Amino acid sequence: MQIQKSARRVYLSLGIIALFSSNLFAQTAEEEAAELAKKLANPIASLISVPFQNNTDYGIGEFRGTRNTMNIQPVIPVSISENLNLITRVIIPVVTQYNITGENSKQAGVADVVASAFFSPKNSEKLTWGVGPALLLPFATNDLLATKKFGVGPTAIALKQTNGWTIGGLVNQIWSVAGEEDRPDVSQLFFQPFLVYNWKSGAGVGANMELTQNWQASQTTLWLNPTFSAVTSIGKQKTQFVIGPRFNLAAPTGGKADWGWRAVLVFLFPK
């Protein structure tokens, strides 16, 4: 975070006071950036945030297709007791893809939504964790982006934060329990280990892996996402920027991408 500082010195004593006040303000702002970065590295921190995560992937399949997925992911913590938080997280994918289902084809719209809720202790000193339900909601606006199924299953997260490092993992398993009978059932595992290092300035570097296992079709998809991040302000609005490449390490036959990139803009609403 860059802080503009100025002090007009008329007398030496006033200059010393102004300089001291300016340095104190910068230190406070840096500490705030570091604290926000630490919370952002924790997916179940008690911090309201609205991330817009954009993934663009190229060279997919037989027709060298392109897919752009904008994931809108509001995270809202709710205090439900003196010792327990409920962290709600919704992922709304907005997809535009070309030459994926066929040559010169295009699909666009909202895909199915995944909503999660984590019950997490407020005062976890050694290990931060949360468990709860995950829901697959059939809200897709395009049939080729839809499962047409309602699903449910468990989700869990655990992480450790120390000396600027955050290391942990998130997992969920969803089974379909209702929906259109002519569509395949859903039995899908998602696992995301992550590692982040944040400097006191709020800048950070890290990586995560995203493994999706479709048990029903015996298909595995695996992405590696290195990232660089920074916390700053747009006017009075606290924000985080994240950017990095994407590497598709495994995919179903005919569905692997050559490469991709990720860019994220997060709006923060600290208490």
For the chain, domains (ranges, CATH) are: 12-269 (2.40.160.40)
Sign of CA dihedral 97, 195, 210, 223: positive
Q: Please, which pLDDT band fits residue 30 given cuts at 50, 70 and 90? A: low
Calpha distance 53→20 (Å, rounded): 40
Per residue in 213-222, pLDDT (tens digit) is 999 999 999 9
Mean pLDDT throughout 167-184?
Answer: 97
Report whether 133 contacts 155 (CB < 8 A): yes
Calpha distance 16→63 (Å, rounded): 67
| Backbone angles phi and psi of 71, in degrees to 5 | -95, 115
Q: Please, which pLDDT band fits residue 43 given cuts at 50, 70 and 90? A: confident
Q: Is the pLDDT of residue 26 over 50?
A: no
Report whether 74 contacts 28 (CB < 8 A): no
Report whether 226 contacts 245 (CB < 8 A): yes
pLDDT at position 135 is: 98
Q: Please, which pLDDT band fits residue 17 given cuts at 50, 70 and 90? A: very low
Angle 72-76-82 from CA coordinates, rounded to 5°: 165
Q: Is the pLDDT of residue 57 over 60?
A: yes
10 Å CB burial of residue 45 (0-12, 13-18, 19+) is: buried
Mean pLDDT throughout 129-157?
Answer: 97
pLDDT at position 15 is: 42
pTM, whole model, 2 decimals?
Answer: 0.85
Mean pLDDT throughout 7-19?
Answer: 38
Report whether 4 contacts 22 (CB < 8 A): no
pLDDT at position 13 is: 41
pLDDT at position 153 is: 98
Calpha distance 214→209 (Å, rounded): 16
Q: Please, which pLDDT band fits residue 29 given cuts at 50, 70 and 90? A: low
Mean pLDDT of the chain: 88
Percent of the chain with pLDDT over 70: 88
pLDDT at position 220 is: 97
